[in-house]
Amino acid sequence: MIDIKALREDPQRFIHGAKAKNIDVDIPALIAIDQERRSLNKNREDLRAEQKRISKEIGPKIGQLKGKLKNASADEQESINQELQTLEATPASLKKEIQAIDDTMGSIDEEWQTLLLKIPQPPDSDVPVGQSADENVELRTWAPDGYDVSKSFADNKGFEPKDHLALVKELELADFERGVKMSGTRHYVLTGNGMLLQQAVLRFAFDLITQKYDFSPMSVPVILREECMVGTGFFPSGREQAYHIEESNRGAGHDLFLAGTGEVGLMGMFADEIIDANKLPIKMATVSTCFRREAGAAGRDTAGLYRIHQFEKVEQVVICKADEKESRIWHQTMMGIVEDLLQQLGLPYRLLQCCTADLGSKNADMIDIECWMPGRGQLDSDGKPEGAWGETHSASRLYDYQCRRLNMRYRDEDGNTVFAHSLNNTVLASPRILIPLLEMHQQQNGTIRVPECLQSYMNGMAVIESQTRPST
C-alpha cells in the first residue's frame, strides 16, 4: 500500500506511475474522497470537542438539578425537568450530528480503502519505461564454457535436441495423461527418476540458500486468510489467479486461499508486529507447494511442465530497514545467489531488467532471470524448435509497500515506528526448472547427465536413463 501522505504531497508521481505500469486506477477519485474524508473527520473532531466542552460546562449544573429533584415538589420537578431537557438538548443534538458523520464515514472509508489498495507503487526512476514485457532490457547473460546460445543446440552439441515433452515420455519421468485424469488440465504426475530429480534440485537449492548464504529455514502455511493475500499485494489485482476455499459458508468465519508463493506466508508471519530493529535484516527461506489458477494463460506455454497449476518453490525473503541503498544491495545479493545456483547447475541464463509495464502493482523494481530452453521458440524449416529463453526466477524490490499493508514496523534510533522494507526472489521453482535441466543436459543416446551438484541428492546417480529400456 502506498503512503497516503506521499500521495497528497505529490499526486502526479502516482498518476504517472500507474500510467507507466498500464494499471487503470482512478487516483483523482481517491484524492477527492480523501479530501472529503479529511473534512468530515475534522468536522467530527470539532463536534466532539464542542460536545466535551459543553458537557464540562453544564455537567455540574445538571448534577445540581438532578439532586434537587429528590426533594422538589411536583411543580418544582416539572420546572427542573424542563430546565434539564433544555440543558441536555445541545449535547444530544451534537451526538446526532456526530453519529450522522460516523455513518457517512463508514461508507466513505470502505471506498477510500478499496481505491487505496489498488494504487500501484510507482516504479523506480531508473526502471526503463515500456508498454509490455517485450521491452524488458537484457542486462547480462551466462553460459557454461563451450556453449554459445547464439548458435543452435545441434551446433553446440553435435546432435538435434529433444524437447522436455519427448524426454520425460521416453525416460518415464512424468505422466501427463494420469495427472489430467485426476485433476484436469495442466496437472501432471512426476514418476520415478523425474520425482527424484525434482527433489534433488529442490533440496540442493534449499541447502544452498540456508547453509551457504545463511537464510533461516522456515516452514509456513500455504492455506492463508485473505488478509495475508491483501497484505502482500497479491489481492485485489491478482485475486483471479488464486484458488479460493469458501470456509465462511461452513462456519469458520473466514475464507481461505491457496498461496501462489511462499512469500505470502513468510511476510504474513510479521503482520501487525513491531520488529526488534536489532534483528534486521531478517533473511528467510522456505520450500512449499504453490498453487496458481493461471487464468487467461494460453498457447505453447500451457504444454508440458512450463505453466501448471501446482508446483514446488524455494523462496527467499528479506525484511530490512527502510533504507533505499540497503534495499538495492539486498536486491543484487539475492540475484547473485540465483546466479550461483544456475552456474552450478550448468544452465545458460540471462538477467532482464523488467520495464515499467512488466513490474506488476507492488514492485518498485524487478529483475527476471530466464534460462535457455532448447525445446522452446520458433520452429525452423525442419519443424524443430530453435530454442528460446524461459522465465525461471524473479527478484523484486518493494520498499515499504508490503510492510505498510501488513502494518509491519520497527523502531528507529529515535524511537519512532517505521515501516520496514521487503524483498523477495525465487531461488528455484520446479518442475519448470526441469525443462532446462533435461533439455540442456540431454545426451545423444537419449539419457540425461545429472549435474555434479545434484548427484549426492540422487544416491550417486550420474546419468538418468530409461528404467525399462536400456540406452543405446
pLDDT digits (tens, 9 = 90+) for 285-298: 999 999 999 876 66
Report yes or no on 17 lying in a domain.
no
pLDDT digits (tens, 9 = 90+) for 216-270: 999 999 999 999 999 999 999 889 999 999 887 776 678 899 999 999 999 999 9
Between residues 284 and 50, the one the model is more confident about = 284
Residue 212's CATH number: 3.30.930.10
Closest listed residue to residue 218, CA positions, set 93, 315, 95: 315
- The answer on pLDDT for 102 being more than 60 is yes
How high is the pLDDT of residue 230? Answer: 96
How high is the pLDDT of residue 298? Answer: 63
Q: Tell whether 234 and 363 lie within a shared domain.
A: yes
Q: Tell whether 73 and 216 lie within a shared domain.
A: no
Decide which of 118, 147, 174 is a domain's last residue: 118
Q: Model confidence at 457, in pLDDT bands (50, 70, 90)? A: very high
pLDDT digits (tens, 9 = 90+) for 342-392: 999 999 999 999 999 999 999 999 999 999 999 998 888 787 888 999 999
pLDDT digits (tens, 9 = 90+) for 14-37: 999 999 999 999 999 999 999 999
Q: Tell whether 162 and 260 lie within a shared domain.
A: yes
Q: Tell whether 341 and 202 lie within a shared domain.
A: yes
44, 186, 376, 432: which is the annotated catalytic residue? 432
Mean pLDDT of 172-199: 95
- The answer on pLDDT for 68 being more than 90 is no
How high is the pLDDT of residue 296? Answer: 66
- The answer on pLDDT for 329 being more than 50 is yes
In the chain, % helix, strand, coil (3-state, to 5) comes to: 45, 20, 35
Q: Tell whether 217 and 333 lie within a shared domain.
A: yes
Residue 391 falls in the annotated catalytic set: yes
Q: Are 2 and 15 in contact (CB under 8 A)?
A: no
- Rounded Cα distance, 296 and 402, in Å: 26
How high is the pLDDT of residue 471? Answer: 46
- The answer on pLDDT for 339 being more than 80 is yes
Closest listed residue to residue 365, CA positions, set 139, 61, 196, 165: 139
Burial, 322: exposed, middle or buried (Cβ in 10 Å; 0-12, 13-18, 19+)? middle
Q: Tell whether 86 and 139 lie within a shared domain.
A: no
Q: Tell whether 172 and 99 lie within a shared domain.
A: no
In this structure, what DSSP letter does residue 211 have? I
How high is the pLDDT of residue 95? Answer: 84
pLDDT digits (tens, 9 = 90+) for 383-428: 788 899 999 999 999 999 999 999 999 999 999 999 999 999 999 9
- Rounded Cα distance, 309 and 187, in Å: 7
Residue 186 falls in the annotated catalytic set: no
In this structure, what are the phi and psi dihedrals at residue 138, rounded to the nearest 5 degrees? -70, 130
Q: Tell whether 185 and 264 lie within a shared domain.
A: yes
Three-class secondary structure of residue 451 per DSSP: coil
288, 327, 361, 394: which is the annotated catalytic residue? 394
Between residues 23 and 69, the one the model is more confident about = 23
Q: Tell whether 106 and 174 lie within a shared domain.
A: no
Report yes or no on 11 lying in a domain.
no
Report yes or no on 391 lying in a domain.
yes
111, 294, 339, 391: which is the annotated catalytic residue? 391
Our CA dihedral for 305, 306, 310, 316, rounded to 10 degrees, sits at: 120
- HSE-CB at 310 with a 13 A cutoff on CA atoms is 13
Residue 37 falls in the annotated catalytic set: no
Report yes or no on 174 lying in a domain.
yes
Q: Model confidence at 302, in pLDDT bands (50, 70, 90)? A: low
Report yes or no on 13 lying in a domain.
no
Q: Model confidence at 321, in pLDDT bands (50, 70, 90)? A: very high
How high is the pLDDT of residue 115? Answer: 94
Enclosing domain of residue 401:
133-464
How high is the pLDDT of residue 62? Answer: 61
Q: Tell whether 339 and 429 lie within a shared domain.
A: yes
Q: Tell whether 105 and 139 lie within a shared domain.
A: no
Report yes or no on 289 lying in a domain.
yes
292, 404, 405, 409: which is the annotated catalytic residue? 292
Decide which of 89, 118, 147 is a domain's last residue: 118
Report yes or no on 287 lying in a domain.
yes
- The answer on pLDDT for 472 being more than 50 is no
Q: What average pLDDT does the chain have? A: 92
Report yes or no on 9 lying in a domain.
no
- Rounded Cα distance, 427 and 395, in Å: 9
* Number of domains into which the chain is organized: 2
Q: Tell whether 312 and 424 lie within a shared domain.
A: yes
Three-class secondary structure of residue 217 per DSSP: strand
44, 307, 404, 405: which is the annotated catalytic residue? 307
How high is the pLDDT of residue 400? Answer: 98
Decide which of 118, 150, 179 is a domain's last residue: 118
- The answer on pLDDT for 469 being more than 60 is no
